[in-house]
Structure 1
């Protein structure tokens, strides 16, 4: 058997409708953080498309936003800034 891993699918930039999912503590702080970070790195993204889903017990929530991804540096910056917050548990 070969240890060769198939290459990850390549994303062509700019990539419209690129989804970013953020999981974190429930409350107002996470949505505010997500909007601030997205406006900084993907100005003008469509805030009306933000989807928020609460966990079964209401302790956590997930937010999905769609941006126009311009490249790896932008996506890395978004991820680093979001994950640096104590309210954020995971960024996908």
Structure 2
């Protein structure tokens, strides 16, 4: 690796205040489904819940903070959310 190449930052687990942002289609029950998936895999701080709709209302962004324990947990959360069919992106 040369000096000009950038390494991805290493996350030191556990992270007690890890933000998860989900961009999905707006629809009935989607918030409850997203929260249920997050709670299945992690401890969720519901006090950090934030929601914002796109200008035309087609998409909604939800952000919550979780306790992240390892990389596999984050991968499983991402995979299950993306498998719903209404989630477009997980950040």
TM-score, normalising length from structure 1?
Answer: 0.88
1:82 and 1:26 map into 2 onto residues whose CA distance is 14
Q: Does 1:27 align with 2:54?
A: no
Query: 1:67-82 to 2 correspondence within 5 Å?
Result: 67-82=66-81
Q: Normalized per residue, which structure has more strand?
A: 2
1:37-74 per-residue CA deviation (whole Å, 9 max, x = no partner) reads: 1110013x111211110000111100011001000010
2:72 and 2:18 map into 1 onto residues whose CA distance is 14
Query: Secondary structure of 1:46's match?
Result: strand
Task: Give yes or no for contact 1:83–1:90 (8 Å, CA) kept in 2.
Answer: yes
Partner of 2:49: 50
Using the TM superposition, give the Cα deviation of residue 4 of structure 1 relative to its aligned residue in structure 2, in angstroms: 5.8
Query: Secondary structure of 2:47's match?
Result: helix
Using the TM superposition, give the Cα deviation of residue 18 of structure 1 relative to its aligned residue in structure 2, in angstroms: 0.6
Unaligned runs of 5+ in 2: none
Aligned residues: 90
TM-score, normalising length from structure 2?
Answer: 0.89
2:48 and 2:27 map into 1 onto residues whose CA distance is 19
The CA RMSD measured in Å over matched residues stands at 1.6
Unaligned runs of 5+ in 1: none
Segments of 4+ moved more than 3 angstroms = none
